[in-house]
Amino acid sequence: MDLSPDLALIAGTGIEAWPFEQARSYVLPTPYGDVGLQVARFAGEDLVVIARHGPGHSLPPHRVNSRGMIWALKSLGVTKVVASSAVGAVDPALHPGDLRVIDDLIDFTRQRPLTFFDAPGQVRHVDMTAAYCPMLSRLLKKAIGQPAAAAPLVYAAMEGPRFETPAEIRALAQLGAHVVGMTQAPEVTLAREAGLCYSAVAVVTNPAAGLAKEPIEESAIYAVLAKALDRFQQSFAAFLGELSRVAACQSCPDAEAGLFPLLNLDGTIQKGV
Ligand SMILES: [Zn+2]
């Protein structure tokens, strides 16, 4: 099979444990290094699956190859991306195990490659007014039972890999953040640069620092994620059902023609395009 599916899942911490059936593995060479991915089938649909943190969760957040992942998906002809991101709750109304669709982002990362456009003469400024695809986000909210009229959920992206201090969490709350994590930037920015429809589900794993009596334990976070995977799978199946009933997105601008080659799954350039 040469042509890859139109839809991709970037599986974050916890969700990467999803054991897809009939999955075929590929390694795609990109200008940013090799990217491992799977083509899997779920609920009657083919999709590309990338484990954001690599095989065996080997990449810490600040080492995730966001440019390689997004370049690979765009070059394979994927147009729609759903991602999961484990988060701490800054908003005390959110609880471990909750799923919420992310509406907006504040980027506090500091030292990550953040753009495809960094060569001299290659000056581009993408519009981030709608950072996340409105169509995919609407369908995801319906699938997880989140009221569409709920206040927009703001994600604060931190450099990590350490967790935040209580003072940082208080500051983020004052700035309007509801959840905090380490992987949405520059992933969503790069998706916008590549002209992909991108939407993300925050999986709440713990109250952020200073909001619970106990220190944040990684083992407790993974226990929450193990339980959340089942709910994420059910929501994703419902999302696929919704997606099959809608027309193409009219909101997200595509990237300029010619910026990304169209590749087959073996890395060869597609013929006749
Ligand atoms: Zn879109």
Closest CA to 197 of 148, 247, 124: 247
252 CA distance to ligand 1 middle (Å)? 4
**Can you give 144-161 as a three-state secondary structure string?**
HCCCCCCCCCEEEECCCC
The Cα–Cα gap between 40 and 136 comes to: 20
134 CA distance to ligand 1 middle (Å)? 6
79 CA distance to ligand 1 middle (Å)? 9
Report residue 1's pLDDT band, with 50, 70 and 90 as the boundaries: very low
The Cα–Cα gap between 241 and 36 comes to: 27
Mean local confidence (pLDDT), 33-40? 95
218 CA distance to ligand 1 middle (Å)? 34
Query: Which domains does the chain show, CATH number per domain?
Result: 7-243 (3.40.50.1580)
Pairwise pLDDT comparison (120 vs 149), residue with the higher score = 120
Pairwise pLDDT comparison (258 vs 120), residue with the higher score = 120
> Tell me, what's the pLDDT at 198?
98
Neighbouring-strand partners of residue 154: 104
45 CA distance to ligand 1 middle (Å)? 19
Q: What are phi and psi of 68, to 5 degrees?
A: -60, -45
> Tell me, what's the pLDDT at 126?
92
Closest CA to 52 of 186, 177, 165: 186
Is the pLDDT at 2 greater than 60? The verdict is no
109 CA distance to ligand 1 middle (Å)? 25
83 CA distance to ligand 1 middle (Å)? 14
Task: Tell me the whole-structure pTM to 2 decimals.
Answer: 0.95
pLDDT tens digits, one per residue of 177-200: 999 999 999 999 999 999 999 999
132 CA distance to ligand 1 middle (Å)? 8
192 CA distance to ligand 1 middle (Å)? 9
Q: What is the mean pLDDT of the chain?
A: 92
Mean local confidence (pLDDT), 193-215? 94
Mean local confidence (pLDDT), 85-103? 96
Mean local confidence (pLDDT), 231-244? 95
> Tell me, what's the pLDDT at 272?
53
- Helical segments of 62-160, H only: 66-75, 134-144
pLDDT tens digits, one per residue of 53-90: 998 899 999 999 999 999 999 999 999 999 999 999 99
Is the Cβ–Cβ distance between 71 and 62 less than 8 Å? no
What's the DSSP call for residue 208? P
The Cα–Cα gap between 81 and 133 comes to: 9
